[in-house]
Amino acid sequence: MGGWTRRQWIGQAAGVSAIGASVARAFGAASSRRFRIGACDWSIGKQASPDALSVAKDIGLDGVQVSLGTEKDEMHLARAEVQAQYKKTVAETGVAVASLAIGEMNRIPFKSDVRTIEWVSGSVDACAEMGCKVVLLAFFSNGDLKGDKAGTDEVVRRLKGIAPKAEKAGVVLGIESWLNADEHLDIIQRVGSPAVQIYYDVANMEKMGYDLYSEIRRLGKEKLICEVHAKENGFLLGQGKVDFRRVREALDEAGYSGWVQIEGAVPKGAAMLPSHRDNLKFLRGVLG
């Protein structure tokens, strides 16, 4: 933990949000809610674009999970001029940059490509600058860790190198993968830093056949869930395989509060905007 106590680290994390009035205003009334609801920029058709915030405003969302960028644009949110564009749009729309994500690591894996080390390190700086606290690290497709001991060992090694910087900045690196609770816990315990936690995707865990409701309780009580994806594949929320009322009960027992991000949940052939308005209405009803 780089010599920091958990109490010191939490105190540092609390200070990250105070980076400027224009960004802070976006949290406004929404910050008083136990759950704030956003959506992933790739799910609302504006990946790695400030326009995602305007779309989110049309939907009625509190915030957006913003992509750091792509290999092609060299993770452009790490650049000051791109950050300024987002901050301007935050001030105009009142929609928050809720968290960041590096989805490109599904294609270019953190476990094997040296470029991703700088991407993750840069995401910590960008996250702190944008006034949010969580960066989603994606481990699917080429980056899948399931059954890959060597790849997992390398991920642990690399996270150990970056975690002290994230701790100092008050930023959490959230692992999203196909791994179960025990496998996630093994990584977290080996890294040994509160800056590495789990980004919990309910649809992914349901697809893998895990008892997601028990996992939420278990991991949440350990304060290891940094953020939640409310997702269904091919269905509106509440019309698929995940029982979101049971998710709410599990989150209650775990004491979780914070962002819940809508991902996917657009039926085949359906339009994105009305689907996300329906999803938001459903989640507001479940989460309050």
Q: Which two tokens stand for residue 130?
A: 């944008």
> Can you give the residue range of the structural domain that contains 122?
6-282
Q: Would residue 287 count as lying in a domain?
A: no
**Which pLDDT does position 31 carry in this prediction?**
58
**Residue 202 pLDDT:** 98
125-171 pLDDT, tens per residue?
Answer: 999 999 999 999 999 999 999 999 999 999 999 999 999 999 999 99
Examine residue 1 and state whether it is found in any structural domain, yes or no. no
Question: CA-CA distances (angstroms) from residue 106 to 21, 141, 168, 177, 277?
Answer: 35, 5, 27, 10, 28
Say if 48 falls within a structural domain: yes
Q: Report the CATH number at residue 15.
A: 3.20.20.150
What pLDDT is recorded for position 32?
Answer: 66
Q: Across residues 237-261, what is the average pLDDT?
A: 97
Q: What integer pLDDT is reported at residue 1 of this predicted model?
A: 36
In tens, the pLDDT along 66-106 reads: 999 999 999 999 999 999 999 999 999 999 999 999 999 99
Q: What is the pLDDT of residue 253?
A: 96
d(CA 25, CA 232): 31
31 in any annotated domain = yes
Any domain includes 126 = yes
Angle formed by the axes of helices 51-59 and 272-287, nearest 10°: 60
> What does the pLDDT read at residue 14?
45
Task: Look at the chain and report how many structural domains it folds into.
Answer: 1
Q: Is residue 288 part of a domain?
A: no
Q: How many helices (H) and strands (E) does the chain have?
A: 11, 8
Tell me the pLDDT of the chain averaged across its residues: 91
pTM of full prediction above 0.85: yes
For residues 252-274, give the mean pLDDT: 96
What integer pLDDT is reported at residue 173 of this predicted model? Answer: 98
pLDDT at 24 over 50: no
Give the mean model confidence (pLDDT) for residues 182-194: 98
Query: CA-to-CA distance for 21 and 280, rounded, in angstroms?
Result: 27
Tell whether the model's pLDDT for residue 26 goes beyond 60. Answer: no
Cα angle for residues 66, 246, 266 (degrees, 5° grid): 45
Would you say residue 187 has pLDDT above 80?
A: yes
- 220 domain-assigned: yes
Of residues 9 and 50, which shows the higher confidence score? 50
Please report the pLDDT score of residue 10 as a whole number.
Answer: 45
**Beta bridge partner(s), residue 137:** 102, 175
Give the DSSP H or E segment for 172.
strand 172-177
Instruction: Say what the pLDDT of residue 288 is.
Output: 85
**145, 33 in Cβ contact below 8 A?**
no
Q: Residue 63 forms beta bridges with which residues?
A: 38, 96
**Residue 33's pLDDT is what?**
77
> Each residue of 201-225: pLDDT tens digit?
999 999 999 999 999 999 999 999 9
- Domain membership of residue 183 (yes or no) is yes
User: Is residue 11 scored above 80 in pLDDT?
Assistant: no
Q: Which residues contact 206 (CB under 8 A, 6 or more apart)?
A: 212, 241, 242
